[in-house]
Amino acid sequence: MTRAERLLALIQILRRHRRPTTAAALAAELGVSTRSLYRDIAVLRLQGADIAGEPGLGYMLRPGFLLPPLMFSEEEIEALVLGSRWIAERADDELAQAASNALAKISAVLPTELGDRAASSSLLIGPGGRAADGDQQIAILRKAIRAERKLSIGYTDAKATLTQRIVWPFALAFFDHCRIVAAWCEMRADFRHFRADRICSVELLDARYPRRRATLLQEWRAAENIPAQ
């Protein structure tokens, strides 16, 4: 591994960790000595990486440091293209447009050879259509999740029973034929899953829910025995 490759790998490792990581752990993952690790940290800081920490306490990369897309590997580019194409075909109009815009921005700054490969990727999305839920409805659900705000929904269950609920949405799962909202339901005082196409009315409330989205997601994973990603 060259020095440049090692510096890139170190940035990627730091990005994966949301909490300070010791120099020994970082050095072990890179296969270098802690002395080399300290030198690499110093080089990255000189290049503008906002790395917090010091020897004995651990290091973490503060948000905001971006690597140029030209550093993507061929496999990473294919993953981005495939994901963007899936979103463009399956998601609501707003998210589909965002995916197309993001891919266009990435392709614009890639070296010519990699840009051509991105444009001609043979990883295709199979036949299928968007789920039955409406674009505006999904956009409101996504906005509520981002803003950590409560929703008032009218929900029709599998038995066609309509109920009004106040929920705290924290995740939205995209399946081929439906979208599932994971939320804390105030009526049930527990986690519940709602098919978006069965939500017949939705209102974004001003009130924020009392626990952070990340906390709810962690508690939900534990309750459902779902491993963290």
Fold classification of 135-224 (topology level): SH3 type barrels. (2.30.30)
Q: Answer for the pair 104, 119: CB distance below 8 angstroms, yes or no.
A: no
- The secondary structure of 95-138 as a DSSP string is HHHHHHHHHHHHHHHS-HHHHHHHHT----PPS----SS-HHHH
Element of type H or E holding 191: strand 190-195
168: pLDDT confidence band, cut at 50, 70 and 90? Answer: very high
Overall residue count recorded for the chain in this entry: 229
Helix locations, the chain, DSSP H: 3-16, 23-30, 34-46, 74-90, 93-109, 112-119, 135-147, 213-224
Average pLDDT over every residue of 46-75: 76
Q: What is the CATH number of domain 3-61?
A: 1.10.10.10
69: pLDDT confidence band, cut at 50, 70 and 90? Answer: very low
Q: Is 176 left (phi over 0), alpha (psi -120 to 50) or beta?
A: alpha
pTM summary value:
0.62
| Closest listed residue to residue 179, CA positions, set 226, 128, 129, 133 | 133
Report pLDDT for 106: 76
Residue 191 has pLDDT above 50, yes or no: yes
Residue 65 has pLDDT above 80, yes or no: no
**Backbone dihedral angles phi then psi of residue 64, each to the nearest 5 degrees:** 115, -15
**% the chain with pLDDT above 70:** 89
Residue 94 has pLDDT above 50, yes or no: yes
